[in-house]
Structures are given as C-alpha cells and as structure tokens.
Structure 1
C-alpha cells in the first residue's frame, strides 16, 4: 500500500429521493464524470444519499425526541442556550452527536434524516449490485461525519463497509527499525472515508467518490471476515464492553455514580451542565441538586461560597457531604466541610475553585 492513491469525485449526481436505487445513483455519477470502475476500486458513498434513497426521514419537529428514538444510550449531554446536545451510542453503531440525526442538505423534502440501523448491510447490498453490474472486484464504504474526543473539528469515518479490509492489524510485525509492534492496528476504512471526504463534503454537493490504488485492501472474497481480523464490517470497529474506556463523559461518569444517569428525566431535573462556562451560582446550585437527589429529607441553604447542609443524623450528613464534594468536582469546584453542628445534623461546606482551598 505504498503506491499512488487517487481520489475521484463523482459529479452530476441528481437529488436523491426515496425509492431511488443506490446503484443507479452511483452509476449516474460514473457516467457524468467519465469514470469506469476498475479492479480494486473502493466506492465511498455519503450516508446521507443512502438515507434519502431508503426513505429514512421524519417530519417530527422535536429533534430531541427523534435523537432519543435513534439512540441506545447517552454518553454525554450539554445545554447551549435553549439547545440540548447529546453524544449517544447510535442505533447505527457508532458513538456520535445526536445519533447522526441531521437536518442539513435534506433537499426539497426537508425534515430530519436518520442513519440506517444496519449500515454494513447497506454496503453489502450495494456491493453485490455494483460488482454484478460492472464485473470488477470492489470495496464499498458508507461514510458519515463525526467529532472526535480530544480534537477540534469533524472528520469523516466509515459508518459501514463491505468488500474491504476494515483493519490493518500490525501487531506481531516489526517496524522499520526491526522493533516489535504490539498495539498498532490501523482503521483502514476510516482512513479511506476521511480521504474521500477531501473531494466530497457537505458544501461541494458531491456524495460519492472513487478511491483507486488500494487494491491490496479490497477482498477477493467479500465474505471472508478472517481477513478483517475477525471483524465483519465497520460496526466491528466500535469499542464496546471492557474495551470501551470512555463509555461516559467525565462529568456524566460522576453524575451516574451519584445515581443520576445521563439522558434520564432525573438528569434533566438536576440540571444538565452547559456546553460553556457557567456562573458560580449556577454550578453550585446544580451540584447541590445532584447531592440531594438521593435524599428527599436533606436540606441545603445555597450561597456562592458556601453551602449549609442539613440531614437526619451524622451518618446521613456525612454521606451528603461526600456526595456534594463529588458533585462539585463536575464543575471544577471543591468543597471543604467545617466542623458540624453539635447535634451532627448540619454543617457548612466552603466552596472554592479546585486547588484553591487551604489545607491544614
């Protein structure tokens, strides 16, 4: 895979409508662009045209409700003004914002487009049809766009794939210096999807591209999952179970440990954190609601720099203080309890930015 790779956009594809055949859609772009598919080509199709062709559109104006219906679980959630954004495990497979529900580039029809729940299956169907029609060995990738933890900006990734190696597992091989490789496994289909987006993208109106020069990663037998390191399609690249170190956002992990899981009605009542900076008053009040969520009898008198907690006895009070300290950490704050009242039923907790409280 060290040779030249070319990426050719397919222009001239008309607006895709429900019921259109994806193979015909690709062929219209091939004809308009004067491109003939060759052995080893990889056809990369934007998920949006697949969603349009499959009629995966809703007129429900409540996007939050639509996203919930397309999600298997919430990873993180933030409020920005009046807008709620959720990072979720989408029914389509990956973890992404709003389950991929999208209202841009929907054509005259409008509405909200949904992702197919079986994107690898969409790729299998298109792969079968294209190979029969063109008589060449092909790979098919269905691409979509998502943000990434720790990095600004969005990038295309493989939502679905068929007929192409999804993973280049180099573990057990050696590098150029002869050293053993123990962790390197390249996500080939994600690299292909991202490369194709250089000539596609939302503003260019080009939903399909042909990547040429990667014949070595196109499978001779598309059903041979063994060449994919045991992975069958792009869904196999999604980390799940013990391999998922980031199943929840940092704030959501703390809140969930305190019994307030993201995406629940209780999370909304406690208050969903804002996407940007919050006022001290807002942050402390939200932390107090989070701390009190497990005790209907507890009380709190809230100020910007201190909170007076009340509970039914020393044990309940100590538990409440510990919950408040954890809750404050969600907003970069920390609490320091002073000596409790003589009856052990109330205490003042000083609140400061993390790291600023004096310690004995």
Structure 2
C-alpha cells in the first residue's frame, strides 16, 4: 500500500533555515524508507536563491524580472508575446526559467536551486547523519507539458531514489518483449506528493510511505532525466523551428556526395508539387513533369535514363530532376527558374533529402534525356539521402 502524507507546520523558510531540523520537528513520525517530496521553493529560500525586484507592478518590475530570467537561461526554446519557454542551465525546459513570484514577498523573486541534485543529497545526508533517518529525497517544481493542458509537479532533484525504472528487455504477460518502456519514477513521486501539498495550503513537503525504492547510495539524481539535445525531436517551438529552417535554407550548400541508399520517389514528387503550387502560372502536366515560371522540371523516372544521368552527378545520387526552359527564354525567365530551383531544394530538405545542382553540358543532357520540343536543359538537380544523417 502506498501512503501520501502532508507535512504541516513548516512555517516560513528564510535564508539559512535548516531544513533537516525543520522537517524532523514537523514530522517526528518520519521513518526509514520514506520518500520526502520537497517543493523547490523552500530549498531555494533556505539557500538564499532570491532576487530583489520593485514591489509595484510596472516597467521597472518587468525589466528586473527579464534580467533574472536571462541570467538563468541557457537558450530560448519558444517565445509568444511576454511568455518565454527556456532551457535553464540545469537543462530543464520551463516557462520563465522556473522563476516564481508566488508564496514570496512582493519585493522578491525565487530562483531555482543552483544544483537541485546536490541540494537533495545534502538534505538526505543531514537527515541521516544528524537525525538517523534513511530516506529518499525528491525536490520538485511545477511545469507545463507539451500537448497537454494543466500543470504538474516534476522532479528537478533527487537523492536515494533511482530516477527511472527500466523495463526494457522484460517480457509482458502476453510474451512481448518491452523495448522502450522506461518509467520516470521520481516524476510520478513528485506528482503524487503534489496531491497533498497544493499552492494555497502552505504545505511544501509530503512524505510517501510504502514506495520501497529507497537506495543506499544517492544515485544519479534527476539530471539523468534531461534528454540529450541530439535525441530531442522537439527542441524548439514551432515558430522558432520554422525561422531556423528559413535561415538555414538560405545557405543550403550543394551536397558533394550522398548516402548510397534509395529515396522514395513520392517525396520528390511531393516537393515538385509544392513548388508548382507556389506559382500562379504552374500547370502540372503529369506526376513526372511540372511546369512553372516558364520552365519545366522533369523527374526522371525511366531507370535506364536515370542510370546514365547519374554518371554526371555526385556519388550516391538516387533521383534526378532535369530543369529545362524554352530555347527562346529570356534572362528574366532563367533567373526566376533559379529561384524556383532553390525553393525545390528547400522542399526536398524539409523531407530530409539532400540535393546538388549539376551544371552539366546541355548537349550531354539532351543526348541522354528526352525533352519537350523547343526546350533546352539548364542543368540537373541530383537528389539523395544525406551522407551523414543528424538526429
């Protein structure tokens, strides 16, 4: 049976407050094997993590708050009006870097602890060495979550409790081997503790009894739950990711080689259709050929022709598009075609495909590929899988 109990009577915490003494006085019933779930705010207060700001609402208070957020920010993830979702120096992604103005004097803001795992270890050690209690400690803060409304408490520091229960390699009752199941136990303990704490009852600590997972050593702490950047598929907000994509595509370099891997031709067709849709004059004639800005982009689908044209392109080229214009096209048309080629390359990049513009001899392309009457080739767009894929 799991029991969650509030610790009442904590009172006001100020810089220098001994939390271990405070907790054992308020909860003399604390037992070995219990898990303390402690709100980060009282940890921060005891450690003096406070910033002085003007007490009255207005530009000066807002400016002081902005300075505090900037100091705690490693990078901005998303910004909408005055709201900033940032990654802190701890690696946590939170609104306003976790800085809080609730349950504190109007003239102060509360920052997160400098090292919440170290704070958890220090509190655990004090409870063990001075008060003879062998407990686990989870330090929590409140966060919002992508794709979900509402807030919940999560663990930002931990000691004596393993952060993750790993089921990978186990077999479920139906005989299925589990491959991705890792349960964030300390986050679940944080959420359970919040049920008896609350924002208005001034109950900053809960005790969970019956968990059974308290360890002899401190363990890796909550830092182990921070996802590595290279594994993070959602490291930016939507608008920020789009802005980054636009800036990166402006400097899109030609690939010098591709991975020797097949490319889904439907991805190329979709990119051609996207380019066609941007032009009011576009009249796609077929899946393989798209007319736009007075030119034509022909996706080479004949295997024999494609194999011959590959000799003109970088190693590993999987698909090819021939770009051609009417023989009497003026320079303005050719310039527009160049812009469209770049838009096509951007569309291909959004599908995780690399490309390279091949300035092959027009006569050579004409000999190898069949073009509409009265057209001449400008060049080839070689397409392939990136030689080095990034997560």
TM over 0.5: yes
| C-alpha separation in 2, matches of 1:70 and 1:59 | 15
User: If you compute each CA radius of gyration, which structure gives the higher value, 1 or 2?
Assistant: 2
Q: 1:80-138 deviations in whole A, cap 9, x for unaligned?
A: xxxx11111112331111110111111x4631110012100000100100111332321
1:37 corresponding residue in structure 2 = 30
| C-alpha separation in 2, matches of 1:111 and 1:161 | 26
Alignment partner of 2:76 out of 59, 64, 74: 74
2:94 corresponding residue in structure 1 = 96
| C-alpha separation in 1, matches of 2:236 and 2:112 | 22
Cα–Cα, structure 1 residues 177 and 323, in superposed 2: closer, same or farther, change >3 Å?
A: closer
Cα–Cα, structure 1 residues 323 and 53, in superposed 2: closer, same or farther, change >3 Å?
A: farther
| C-alpha separation in 1, matches of 2:113 and 2:341 | 46
Secondary structure of 2:196's counterpart equals: coil
1:65 corresponding residue in structure 2 = 67
Q: 1:21-66 deviations in whole A, cap 9, x for unaligned?
A: 1212322321xxxx42212100111000011111111124322221
Residue 315 of structure 1: how far off its partner (Å): 7.6
| C-alpha separation in 2, matches of 1:315 and 1:99 | 46
Residue 242 of structure 1: how far off its partner (Å): 1.8
Q: 1:159-207 deviations in whole A, cap 9, x for unaligned?
A: 1000111110000001122321111000000000000000012112100
The alignment yields a C-alpha RMSD, in angstroms, of 2.5
Residue 74 of structure 1: how far off its partner (Å): 0.9
| C-alpha separation in 2, matches of 1:242 and 1:91 | 17
After the TM superposition, which segments of 4 or more aligned residues of structure 1 sit over 4 Å from their partners?
A: 313-325
1:243 corresponding residue in structure 2 = 231
| C-alpha separation in 1, matches of 2:344 and 2:107 | 50
Secondary structure of 1:25's counterpart equals: helix
- Which sits farther off after the overlay, 13-22 or 42-51? 13-22
Counterparts in 2 of 1:226-237, with a 5 A limit?
232-237=220-225
CA contact (8 A) 1:37 1:134 kept: no
Alignment partner of 1:213 out of 199, 210, 213: 210
| C-alpha separation in 1, matches of 2:31 and 2:158 | 18
CA contact (8 A) 2:8 2:203 kept: yes
Unaligned runs of 5+ in 1: 226-231, 261-312, 326-360
CA contact (8 A) 1:141 1:162 kept: yes
CA contact (8 A) 1:29 1:208 kept: no
Report the TM-score when normalising by structure 1.
0.66
Residue 252 of structure 1: how far off its partner (Å): 0.9
Counterparts in 2 of 1:198-209, with a 5 A limit?
198-209=195-206
Alignment partner of 2:24 out of 27, 44, 51: 27
Cα–Cα, structure 1 residues 182 and 323, in superposed 2: closer, same or farther, change >3 Å?
A: closer
| C-alpha separation in 2, matches of 1:12 and 1:42 | 18
Cα–Cα, structure 1 residues 113 and 213, in superposed 2: closer, same or farther, change >3 Å?
A: same
Q: 1:201-248 deviations in whole A, cap 9, x for unaligned?
A: 211210011100012x110233xx4xxxxxx11011011222111111
1:303 corresponding residue in structure 2 = none
Secondary structure of 2:74's counterpart equals: strand
Cα–Cα, structure 1 residues 318 and 201, in superposed 2: closer, same or farther, change >3 Å?
A: same
1:158 corresponding residue in structure 2 = 155
Cα–Cα, structure 1 residues 237 and 318, in superposed 2: closer, same or farther, change >3 Å?
A: same
CA contact (8 A) 2:157 2:222 kept: yes
CA contact (8 A) 2:124 2:134 kept: no
| C-alpha separation in 2, matches of 1:94 and 1:41 | 26
